[in-house]
């Protein structure tokens, strides 16, 4: 991680930790992480793309790592999250950037492109495909109807319970199990419960793409911050559904590349593969150039297939 610059920037009344590498006059890439992650999830892309002349910017999002975690659940709406990023770009005097998102970061990036397409040159989104707002059913209610109350999105709604459950675990075991878990079949089996995650107290043999140092970094940061900030993103899902009613039916009009792992649980939701590959996604994202499935890859694709993802990003954004 040599040469990565770290600083804190005041945005939207909070202090945002930002990791950055690459020439300040180079074209800028904003990396947006998901749950339960940090700027560190983009370490490989930061090194690879900064070496190719890009200015790589990766914040710890609101509620994560070394960025402020406001106490109120309602401080984590999609407008807060997008507002943080817009103020970050303003503070860095960047009128327009490339955006790369993963997991919750992909959700935020889709909405950023919908609300402020003027700030985005092109988008590469990983894992979570864009799904249009359904005016007939709230987001959490939809997941509950599919999978029941034990589904992780539903379990996360009760403030404090899952927060304490996750924080009480051996965080090295927790992150090892989360990051190496493969998803096949229906995604509804995911509960994020202590029983399902803490499957063994013995050290797990790590895959080649994940080191003890990586696990230690994630564990140490979440031991300090806790999980409440990240969980509050889920607790705002129904509120976001209400707030984004004016954009029902709106399209994403930014040049886009979408990438997902073959064994990512988000690629196994009911109907999602037909939606992605048979025109549904393209109808809502008209400038979608390509939808790529990475064979053998799971959810944490930018870490597991680091070089492949870095190359995909580069090959796409170099066109603009």
Catalytic-role residue among 17, 80, 284, 299: 299
Question: At 152, which helix (H) or strand (E)?
Answer: helix 152-155
Rounded (10°) CA dihedral 188, 193, 197, 201: -160
Q: From 83, 99, 81, 80, select the one nearest 91 (Cα to Cα).
A: 83
Tokens coding 227: 């999980």
- Does the annotation mark 103 as catalytic? yes
299 catalytic? Reply is yes
> Which among 234, 258, 267, 275 is annotated as catalytic?
234
Q: Is 78 in contact with 111 (CB distance < 8 Å)?
A: yes
Burial bucket for residue 114 (CB in 10 Å: 0-12, 13-18, 19+): buried
Output the CA–CA distances (angstroms, integers) from residue 246 to 30, 85, 109, 115, 135, in the order listed.
26, 21, 18, 11, 10
Choosing from 66, 84, 103, 214, which is the catalytic residue?
103
Q: Which sequence positions are flagged as catalytic?
A: 103, 234, 299
């Amino acid at each position: 991680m040599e040469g990565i610059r770290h600083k804190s920037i005041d945005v939207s009344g909070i202090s945002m930790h930002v990791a950055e590498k690459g020439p300040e006059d180079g074209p800028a890439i904003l990396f947006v992480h998901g749950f339960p992650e940090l700027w560190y999830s983009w370490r490989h892309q930061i090194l690879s793309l900064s070496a190719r002349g890009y200015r790589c910017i990766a914040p710890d999002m609101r509620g994560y790592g070394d960025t402020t975690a406001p106490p109120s659940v309602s401080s984590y709406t999609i407008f807060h999250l997008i507002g943080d990023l817009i103020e970050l770009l303003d503070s860095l005097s960047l009128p327009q950037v490339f955006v790369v998102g993963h997991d919750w970061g992909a959700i935020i990036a889709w909405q950023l492109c919908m609300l402020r397409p003027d700030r985005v040159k092109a988008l590469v989104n990983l894992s979570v495909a864009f799904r249009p707002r359904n005016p007939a059913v709230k987001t959490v209610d939809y997941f509950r109807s599919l999978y029941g109350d034990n589904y992780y999105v539903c379990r996360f709604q009760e403030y404090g319970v899952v927060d304490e459950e996750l924080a009480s675990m051996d965080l090295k075991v927790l992150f090892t199990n989360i990051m190496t878990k493969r998803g096949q079949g229906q995604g509804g089996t995911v509960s994020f419960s202590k029983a399902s995650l803490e499957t063994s107290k013995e050290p797990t043999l790590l895959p080649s793409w994940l080191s003890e140092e990586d696990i230690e970094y994630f564990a140490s940061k979440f031991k300090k911050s806790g999980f409440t900030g990240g969980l509050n993103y889920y607790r705002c899902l129904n509120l976001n559904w209400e707030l984004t009613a004016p954009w029902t039916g709106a399209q994403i009009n930014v040049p886009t590349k979408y990438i997902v792992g073959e064994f990512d649980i988000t690629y196994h939701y009911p109907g999602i593969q037909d939606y992605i590959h048979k025109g549904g996604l393209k109808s809502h994202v008209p400038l979608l150039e390509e939808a790529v499935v990475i064979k053998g890859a799971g959810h944490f694709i930018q870490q597991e297939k680091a070089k492949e993802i870095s190359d995909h990003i580069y090959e796409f954004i170099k066109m603009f």
